[in-house]
Amino acid sequence: MIRTEAADSEPIRVSHRSAASYLSEVAEVRRLLERSACRHWWEAVSLELFGQRPLLVDGPLSGSVLQVPGKVELALEFSRRRIGALRLQLLPHLSQEAACTSALSELAAQCAGTVQRLASQRWVVQERLGAPCLIGSSPAMLALDRHIEESCIDQRPVVLLGTGGNEALQTAAAIHHSVCGAGRAFVQVDCATTLEPPWRWVDRARGGTLFLCNPDSGTRADHEHLWLQLEQAMGHATGRDCNQGCRLMVALKAHYPSAACTSPIPYGAWSRCNWKVITLPPLSQRPEDIPVLARAVLDYHGHGAEHRMTDALQHWCTNYSWPGNASQLEWTVARMAVLATSTPIGASDISLLSPRLLGEDGTVHVLAEPPASRYAASDTAPPQVSHPPATAWTAEHWVRCVLEQDTQAFAHLHAGLARALQYLCRQFHESISAEQLAQQAHVSASHLRFLFRDSLGLPFKLFLQHVRIAHAKRLLLASPRRRIADVALSVGFSDFSHFQKCFRLIVGQTPGDLRRACALRGTAADACEAGAAPEGQACKQPMNVPHRAQTLLPLRSRASSDAL
């Protein structure tokens, strides 16, 4: 709807830098207007939301520019509900043009969808549902806004296809927030891990939204059982009304045909249900949004995009062909922000922390450092690029460094991780948790777990098991007469069966088999040195005699001998 009237209030000038928040309507609408096909039609633009005073998005510094006759006001409506207005002062020769009415109406609809989407993203951040990823004004995001508005109007159950990252969760949250607001229940269920029956999901989501992720995990029998139970719990009625009690939204990773006769849920009465199908765009279809997403990730995780973002990081994020969704971008940028020793994340940090993402030939040469020195003190300077990154070493290397107490090898790791490994060098045989180790490393437990997975290639518990098993292997070979149970206790295992299981998974054989194999190799070597076989022939006879004696042992005796 477009109507023309005189201005009745003076807008407030809001500069682009003052609206630096990644959820600012002014900054987002400004980017949308800059990319619009009719961006050269106006002299000034003012945005007004929810009865607030208008904010000058673009135009001259004078606040009274919009107080001249002939101003155009575009009503921002989303889901048949007015949420604000966009006021434009068109150029003189376009003030009376009827041809621009359709283009301006489409621009108003895009602004309304963007404003409503940002409102839902603020709710996502408030409810701690993850870093906001539905940010930007790319054509793919504008198309998703239209799907969200359609889902708010027709109230059909929704199937979200494509990416399995945060996009599915936050799209469902955007629909829920636009329809129900923040006062009703939004229940998220991971069908691959939950132990609750479906009737509990429906009961908790009564009057709100039930969002199911990973319902296509498992076998076909599991899928049929799940949807049958959910049908019974919701009192499912075939036909159009499938939302009795709560609104159902489902995230599927597979892509289904879009034919009308094909249902994305081919089980029972759900196959006859009238679904609203939304295909989520991957990150590769949103290149215009990547710089905004990278800044949002830094701000969301508390790193401050104003101080950490550089031209090099923005260039790399924009030009890299992301194979996944926004969660991959979030993980990569947050990882570099945590591990980078400097404040701005420059080219040297990218080449050191994420070399595999720069391509096979490497693109560090196109990433220019800021002209001024970024490191004020020597203790904040990053390691030399000539040193190999931590990811270049295998987990076995770091296990060996811990056992040999090679603390110099930890100098190229994150400071907190280096302190944790130095503590493990002395205390790995004691009972220790990630929280206790995090206190010794002066970092949070979640941060420490992230450092173990990212830099060493193993989670903390699995890395600790590798260290203990490697030390136990050394003790078993160095002291053949020592009881295996004593070795298990000395390296930190209180349960002998758990020690046996971990040893077999990591080494590939039981401790008793390792000792017997070592004894056989030693017997063969002694026989060869004593001249048991002619020169030039293999020493096979000494290997056969113990083997025959071993096969004569009863099964129970062999099992009990492993504990000796």
Burial track 242-256 (b if 16+ CB lie within 10 A, e otherwise): bbeebbbbbbbeeeb
| 77 and 201 assigned to the same domain | no
Helix (H, G, I), strand (E, B) or coil at 251: strand
CATH number at residue 178: 3.40.50.300
| 144 and 266 assigned to the same domain | yes
Concatenated DSSP letters of 211-234: EEE-TT-S-HHHHHHHHHHHHHHH
- Domain range for 312: 286-371
| 484 and 550 assigned to the same domain | yes
| 165 and 232 assigned to the same domain | yes
| 310 and 254 assigned to the same domain | no
Residue 131 counted as domain residue: no
Residue 546 counted as domain residue: yes
Residue 12 counted as domain residue: yes
CATH number at residue 312: 1.10.8.60
| Among candidate residues 216, 203, 294, the one with its CA nearest the CA of residue 250 | 216
Among the three residues 123, 152, 173, which one is the final residue of a domain in this structure? Answer: 123
Residue 377 counted as domain residue: no
pLDDT of residue 436: 86
Distance CA 130, CA 126 (A): 9
| 450 and 401 assigned to the same domain | yes
Q: Which two tokens stand for residue 493?
A: 């295992």
HEC assignment per residue over 449-505: HHHHHHHHCCCHHHHHHHHHHHHHHHHHHHCCCCCHHHHHHHCCCCCHHHHHHHHHH
pLDDT of residue 147: 94
Cα-Cα end-to-end distance for the chain:
86
pLDDT of residue 218: 79
Burial track 497-512 (b if 16+ CB lie within 10 A, e otherwise): eebbebbeebbeebbb
Query: What are the φ and ψ backbone dihedral angles of 115, each rounded to 5 degrees?
Result: -65, -45
Among the three residues 401, 426, 458, which one is the final residue of a domain in this structure? Answer: 458
CATH number at residue 543: 1.10.10
| 166 and 230 assigned to the same domain | yes
What's the length of the chain? 564
pLDDT of residue 443: 79
- Tokens 């929280």, located at residue: 435
Given a contact cutoff of 8 angstroms between Cβ atoms, the answer to whether 34 and 20 are in contact is: no
| 7 and 72 assigned to the same domain | yes
**What string of pLDDT tens digits covers the 564 residues of the chain?**
444 333 344 444 443 333 346 788 888 888 888 888 888 888 888 888 887 778 888 776 444 444 555 578 889 999 889 999 988 888 776 655 566 788 888 999 999 999 999 999 999 888 888 888 999 889 999 999 999 999 998 888 999 988 767 889 999 999 999 988 778 899 999 888 888 888 999 999 988 999 998 888 878 888 888 999 998 888 753 333 444 578 999 998 765 554 444 778 888 888 888 899 999 998 888 999 999 999 999 988 888 888 889 888 888 888 888 877 888 888 888 888 888 877 888 888 888 777 665 654 444 333 333 333 333 333 333 344 344 455 557 888 889 898 988 888 888 788 888 889 988 988 888 888 888 888 888 877 877 888 888 888 888 889 999 999 999 999 988 888 888 888 888 898 888 888 888 898 888 888 888 888 888 876 665 555 544 444 444 444 433 333 333 333 333 333 444 444
CATH number at residue 73: 3.30.450
Burial track 304-336 (b if 16+ CB lie within 10 A, e otherwise): ebeebbbebbbbbbeebebeebbbbbbbbbbbb
CB neighbour class for 290 (10 Å; exposed up to 12, middle 13-18, buried from 19): buried
- Tokens 């269920």, located at residue: 189
Q: Which two tokens stand for residue 326?
A: 């926004």
Q: Where are the alpha helices (DSSP H) in 127-155?
A: 139-154
| Among candidate residues 180, 27, 2, 14, the one with its CA nearest the CA of residue 115 | 27
| 397 and 426 assigned to the same domain | yes
pLDDT of residue 467: 92
| 19 and 60 assigned to the same domain | yes
Query: Contacts for 390-396 with beta carbons within 8 Å, 24 or more apart?
Result: 390/455, 390/456, 391/355, 391/356, 391/454, 391/455, 391/457, 394/457, 395/456, 395/457, 395/458, 395/463, 395/466, 396/466
Residue 185 counted as domain residue: yes
Among the three residues 248, 281, 314, which one is the final residue of a domain in this structure? Answer: 281
Residue 62 counted as domain residue: yes
pTM over 0.85: no
Distance CA 529, CA 526 (A): 5
pLDDT of residue 99: 64
| 223 and 270 assigned to the same domain | yes
What is the total count of domains within the chain?
5
Residue 432 counted as domain residue: yes
| 198 and 276 assigned to the same domain | yes
Strands, DSSP E only, in 260-399? 276-279
Residue 385 counted as domain residue: no
